[in-house]
A and B are shown apart, each in its own frame.
Chain A
Amino acid sequence: MLGNFDFDVIRRALPYLFYEGMTFTLTLTGLAAFGGLVFGTALALMRLSGLKLLGRIAGVYVDFMRSLPLVLVIFWFYFLVPYIGQWLTGASRPISVGAFASSLITFIMFEAAYFSEIMRAGIQSISRGQPAAASALGLTYAQTMRYVVLPQAFRNMLPVLITQTIVLFQDTSLVYVLSITDFLGAASKVAQRDGRLVEMYLFAAVVYFTISCIASFGVRRLQARIAIIR
């Protein structure tokens, strides 16, 4: 029962939970969102490039990533990245990659598949006249994308992109399977050390809930503002 709920356990663990755990979680979320967006946009451009082979490669990649569970992908990259590193650097043995680098690569590669679908929808939502006008003005393909299409696509899709980032923020908790000290990992380590599972897991749930709630509330505000501009 909740009668012997011990707030002091949480209070004592706060510095560890936030300085170690939450810093890891937020850094991973931010960098993975940025990397995933860049790589995802590249995938979307490949799919819409009109070049059959390029589009095919990107399509297969996106479908492949989207049909696998994230946990399996995390395991894949955790074991694969050292070998890829060895192959790239020509080292004699698989190189050791830190937990952070390994999970960052995983999340960039995985989220890129989801971000690319969002960006593809964003690019397709722009009227044909825009790229036509851009090329009439003499802009090259790269310039058209850089100055005309992508800024609008990005802006139109901003709420969806942020929503996907909230999902990513929640998904980073899955690095737990590699015993990494992200926010949930930190909470779970304290929980097991002190035998206080109820307190720590409830507290972790409340923190995730609060952050995600505030962020999705912000998305709704943003959506309303963007809707007025158009």
Chain B
Amino acid sequence: MNYNWNWGIFFQPNPMGTGTYLDMLLSGLALTLKTAALAWVIALITGSIVGVMRTLPSKGATWFGFAYVEFFRNMPLLVQLFLWFFVLPEILPRAAGLWLKQLPNAPFWTAAIGVGFFMSARVAVQLQAGISSLPRGQKMAATALGLTTVQGYRYVLLPMAFRIILPPLTSEFLNTIKNTAVAITIGLLELTGQARSMQEFSFQVFEAFTAATILYLLVNAVVVTAMRFLERWVAIPGYITGK
């Protein structure tokens, strides 16, 4: 292979004047984590609401949940980001559109919202599966005790369902982190974006992508380990994972 390896490149100053190339990658990592965190909050909140709606006896709520999930699941994430970024400001009333276009950090907010809603459909499906995996008696017992529907979900169904779906939620969270890389297309300089610009500035392709790869693997390992602890901590006694 006639490729000029230069691992020292990470400690050379980057052309942006923001420190070394390593600093550039680390600031990308920070932005990846920030975007993923905000997206995950959006995904968890809206996904939980929609997931619960899908299990309600009301026909309208079920239908809305179904339509919501199909809407966000059947379009590529990249197309959804373009819709949020390029199309939404144009089809809003002029004043609102202008405000959106002039928003500072627009790629960041767009990425967080776009990835968040994209992932919320997946969270909704997982939560619905978790709730329907509970024995029917749980809901009936809640009703028999005189709990309202809201109380039944709050105190009986959801605490169980969320613990059951914790492992799939972990992989959805990891997907959220990975999906933020798509935002490179709307100009968000997250980890992949910074690795790409480092490659363009320094021509050290493989060093840049190796570093990004290692950082992604590290993040993965940290999240997986943290979730293991969380799983053990909230495990339900009597279940296979319980104490």
Interface residues in chain A, defined as those with a beta carbon under 8 Å from any beta carbon in chain B:
1-2, 64, 67-72, 75-76, 79-80, 83, 86-87, 93-94, 170-171, 173-174, 176-177, 184, 188, 197-198, 201-202, 204-205, 208-209, 212-213, 216
Contact = CB atoms under 8 A, between A and B. Distances in A.
Contact of A86 (B1, B70, B71, B80): B1
A209 B75 contact: yes
A184 B74 contact: no
A176 B181 contact: no
Interface of B: 1-3, 70-71, 73-80, 82-83, 86-87, 90-91, 93-94, 174, 178-182, 184-185, 192, 195-196, 199, 205-206, 209, 212-213, 216-217, 220
B206 to A, nearest CB: 7
A204 B74 CA distance: 12
A38 to B, nearest CB: 25
Secondary structure at chain A's binding surface: helix, strand, loop or mixed?
helix
Contacts of B78: 173-174, 176, 184
A82 B78 CA distance: 27
Contacts of A170: 74-77
A208 B87 contact: no
Nearest to A1: B91
Nearest to A197: B86
A86 B80 CA distance: 38
Given A93-B2, A173-B76, A213-B74, A202 B83 contact: yes
A79 B206 contact: yes
Contact of B192 (A64, A75, A201, A205): A75
A177 B82 CA distance: 13
B79 A184 contact: yes
B55 to A, nearest CB: 19
A72 B74 contact: no
B215 to A, nearest CB: 10
Nearest to B210: A76
A170 B78 CA distance: 9
B87 A72 contact: no
Contact of B178 (A1, A2, A68): A68
A119 to B, nearest CB: 18
Contact of A184 (B70, B76, B205): B76
